[in-house]
Structure 1
Amino acid sequence: MRTAYRTGDARVLRDVAAIGAAMLAVGASFGAVAVAAGLPVWATLAMSAFVYAGGAQFMAVGLVVAGNPLAAVLAGLLLNARHLPFGLALGGALGTRRAQRLLGSHLMTDEATAFALARPAGPQRRRAFWLAGVLLFLAWNAGTALGVLAGGAAGDPAALGLDAAFPAGLAALLLPSLRDRETRRVALLGAGLAVLATPLLPAGLPVLLALAALALPLLARRRPPAVSPGPPAVSPGPPAVSPGPPAAPPGPPAASAGRSGVPSGPDAAPGGGPVTVPDAAADGRSVRAGEASC
């Protein structure tokens, strides 16, 4: 386990070294610019130690020299408002105690946040954040001290192309996080909003406007899924016919005559002999013959 931690720490140190070199140079430029603008040495060093805001410090120097310190404070708050979602994303990486979280919030920068989020959640992310945060903080303040001592020898970092090191480093750190399709959509939409709003809005607002891209996955989740049409509904058939009254019980079996004309069944004579049926016509003739003889 210790070997894995040491390997991960070595990778973080190696990656932080490139960003730290650029931060050292830009910090030296800030120290030189602040002293040249008339800011006291102690105020320059204190700003890097307690404000630690990079671009907001450069803006504050110009506003303070122009006699508008309140605008400098508001500009710093506006530029650093992006740290609110940073803190939500880092979560437990800042620590569990209040003192740890306060110190971690002060060390939170774009680069330190990117270093931490590139690692899995848990101890690795926490160690990456604190290593990057502490080392970059030391690099910035050491650069400021060098700039104060060197005066104007540090020059403008934009002339050396050092100002491009920060966005390039951030892009390199964020590339592994763009493997997810939904994350790529949100990142591209946020970048597009920031680029379009930069010429129109004051500094700091385009970055906050880019946070509106976070609503994209929320809208996608609220959209009801498309329902595929199923088979047509089967119409109900005719109502079932109610059964009629029960059939009458069968009566006694009818007498049936066999081949010899002898009935079978209950009408058969005892012994199975033939049954004599009286002839009504013969009886009528006998009556008329008797009447004639009288």
Structure 2
Amino acid sequence: MRSLHRTPEGVAARQGLAVALATSAYGISFGALSVASGLDIWQTCVLSLLMFTGGSQFAFVGVIAAGGLASAPAAIASAALLGVRNAAYAMRMAPVVAGGFWRKAVATPFTIDESVAVALAQDCPRARQAGFWVTGVGIWVGWNISTLLGALLGDVLGDSRAYGLDAAAAAAFLALLWPRLRGRQPLAVAAGAAVVAALLTPVLLPGIPVIAVAGVAVAVGLFDPRHPAPPAAGVAEERGMP
């Protein structure tokens, strides 16, 4: 009998825990930044408990920091735009999560960038489920704990970027992405998305570049020469095809 840690599920769980640790550490930055932006500790913790999507949270407190509470509508709009991507994740993850309505409802708050990335990096259904749940639940617990710590210790820590916490999530994503960049199509999607994001981020509201780069994958898929168009009806009939 194989040891649990050598099974595909065990490998997925270890990957999920590693990503959860890296991403949770980044929550300290959010807690400190949120309090510095004018929100109190309780407001900061409620954002992490209920919103629970790092990009949207940082966008929200960033706009609040720049314009105060009067900029709340703009902050909500920016956070909502960044959260749109989670709807696409939900459609992709529905067959992975499986089960009925309530199982999928429970999975909803855990359907985030990291849990989707770890799940889709696996090769079998059970490993994908293990990666999804371990990553999503692990990050939710760790992110909320580190948010509280960051809010309480923000003044003591100073600039949390000095510890490299602002790069923790990006490093975890890169570690997951790198092994999958094999072949022309994945490289073309990654390179095109990076260029589009770099060009649009300085000039558009947060969230819009994220949505725009999804079009890169669509464009590459539509114009991929490895997938020729189906034969015309006349040609198909000559070949005896239905």
**Higher relative contact order, chain-length normalized (CA < 8 Å, sep 6+):** 2
Q: 1:124 to 1:63 in 2, by over 3 A?
A: same
Instruction: Report sequence identity in percent.
Output: 35
Tell me, yes or no, if structure 1 residue 157 matches structure 2 residue 144: no
Contact 1:94 1:126 in 2 (8 A): yes
- Name the aligned partner's letter for residue 137 of structure 1: W
- Name the aligned partner's letter for residue 52 of structure 1: F
Contact 2:20 2:138 in 1 (8 A): yes
Tell me, yes or no, if structure 1 residue 39 matches structure 2 residue 43: no
Q: 1:9 to 1:34 in 2, by over 3 A?
A: same
In structure 1, the partner of 2:29 is 29
Q: Deviations over 1:184-208 (max 9, x none)?
A: 2222222221122222322222221
In structure 2, the partner of 1:137 is 140
Indicate the larger mover: 59-68 or 208-217: 59-68
- Return the offset for 1:6: 6.5
In structure 1, the partner of 2:239 is none
Contact 1:47 1:57 in 2 (8 A): yes
In structure 1, the partner of 2:91 is 88
In structure 1, the partner of 2:50 is 50
Match of 2:223 among 216, 219, 224: 219
Tell me, yes or no, if structure 1 residue 178 matches structure 2 residue 181: yes
- CA separation in 2, counterparts of 1:151 and 1:162? 13
Tell me, yes or no, if structure 1 residue 208 matches structure 2 residue 224: no
For residue 119 of structure 1, give the secondary structure of its aligned residue in structure 2: coil
Q: 1:15 to 1:129 in 2, by over 3 A?
A: same
- CA separation in 1, counterparts of 2:104 and 2:171? 28
In structure 2, the partner of 1:117 is 120
TM-score by length of structure 2 reads: 0.81
- Return the offset for 1:13: 4.2
TM-score by length of structure 1 reads: 0.68
Q: 1:144 to 1:193 in 2, by over 3 A?
A: same
Please identify the structure whose Cα radius of gyration is greater: 1
- Greater per-residue helix proportion: 2
Q: Deviations over 1:20-56 (max 9, x none)?
A: 3333332122222323333232221111010012132
Contact 2:60 2:78 in 1 (8 A): yes
- Gap regions ≥5 residues in structure 1: 226-294
Q: 1:145 to 1:80 in 2, by over 3 A?
A: same
Q: 1:61 to 1:3 in 2, by over 3 A?
A: same
Q: Deviations over 1:101-133 (max 9, x none)?
A: 223221122211111000124121111100111
In structure 2, the partner of 1:194 is 197
Q: 1:156 to 1:24 in 2, by over 3 A?
A: farther
Contact 2:197 2:210 in 1 (8 A): yes
- CA separation in 1, counterparts of 2:17 and 2:130? 16
Contact 1:28 1:154 in 2 (8 A): no
- Gap regions ≥5 residues in structure 2: 231-242
- CA separation in 2, counterparts of 1:170 and 1:97? 30
Q: Give RMSD over aligned pairs.
A: 2.6
Contact 1:92 1:126 in 2 (8 A): no
Q: Deviations over 1:211-236 (max 9, x none)?
A: 111222223368659xxxxxxxxxxx
Structure 1 segment 245-256 matched on structure 2, within 5 A: none
- CA separation in 1, counterparts of 2:41 and 2:102? 29
Q: 1:123 to 1:150 in 2, by over 3 A?
A: same
In structure 2, the partner of 1:107 is 110
For residue 220 of structure 1, give the secondary structure of its aligned residue in structure 2: coil
- CA separation in 1, counterparts of 2:25 and 2:221? 39
Contact 1:45 1:145 in 2 (8 A): yes
- Return the offset for 1:4: 5.2
Contact 1:31 1:143 in 2 (8 A): yes
Q: 1:95 to 1:223 in 2, by over 3 A?
A: closer
For residue 179 of structure 1, give the secondary structure of its aligned residue in structure 2: coil
Match of 1:68 among 46, 71, 77: 71
